[in-house]
Amino acid sequence: MTEWTGLRPMEAVLAARAATVHLVDVEIVALCGFPVLGVDGALHRSLLADAMTMGADLVGGCPHLEPSSLDEATSYLLQVAADHSVGVDLHTDEILDAGVLGLADLARHVATGFEHPATASHCVSLSMLPEARQREVAEQVAAAGIGVVALPQTNLYLQGRAHAQATPRGITSVAALRAAGVPVAAGQDNLQDPFNPLGRGCPLDIAALMVLVSHLTPDDAYRTVSDEARRVLGREVVSLTVGSPADLLAVRAGTLRQALAAGPSDRLVWRTGTLTSPSNAAQAGSASAPGANASP
């Protein structure tokens, strides 16, 4: 929310959540505009306070864009979240500058007293650090209990433009984070807007991209949009067992690798046991044909 948008985004997302409550669980992050500190940040602080009063579930912000103090901005956003007894979901280090490392600041703050969930998205500059330093920061993030969200489409599009040679991918250090035990999810981020002209909002597309850009196996890549995504959100991981949440996806493919490769449109989605998204094939009466696999 900024001086140009006011609270209109919050109003729109609240309306969208109400209209789709039977289809999907929506968490609303009040993304505070920048700057957040000082006289110039007064309006943004006011908008954030109003958004929390309106019913936002999490506090968001972009501390790395704070011109005066990244650490102080992080501390302020965490304090607002603590005051409302909610977690944070911060755009973190969306920059290739290895000298900007808000992720380490966030880990330190969370480890020393923040008692609510914390998520860091992007975390691009981590990938520009020496390997030993990556491991060190990843271990700090794991110890603090922070979840990380990689955003491959937008980061590939935006990052590295100034690097004519040896262009960095601009994706966070997924291997180091996973090795340290950090839950690493993957998401769409921007969708057909000035920050990313492409995208379908499809988790299978994102998982397929994670295979290519983060060198994950198809199984591990799928976990970034399924099991690990649920862990980052603080939700129970789904398994095909009695008593597990019946949040399921069935796609027309012989294997998981084929599903990621083809991104088939024939899909069935269940939310808490209720079919919410019948596919074209299902409507034609052929959803139970051989090759339709169910996955949590």
Report, as residue numbers or ranges, the catalytic residues: 94
What is each CA distance from 116 to 8, 89, 145, 223, in whole angstroms? 27, 11, 10, 24
4 phi and psi angles, rounded to 5 deg: -80, -30
DSSP label of 187: -
Can you read off the two tokens belonging to residue 5? 């948008």
What is each CA distance from 53 to 47, 57, 73, 114, in whole angstroms? 10, 10, 20, 21
Residue 60, SS3 per DSSP: strand
Whether the CB-CB separation of 97 and 128 falls below 8 Å is answered with yes
Can you read off the two tokens belonging to residue 161? 């433009």
174 phi and psi angles, rounded to 5 deg: -60, -45
How many CA atoms within 13 Å lie on the side-chain side of 100? Answer: 21
What is each CA distance from 39 to 43, 46, 295, in whole angstroms? 8, 12, 51
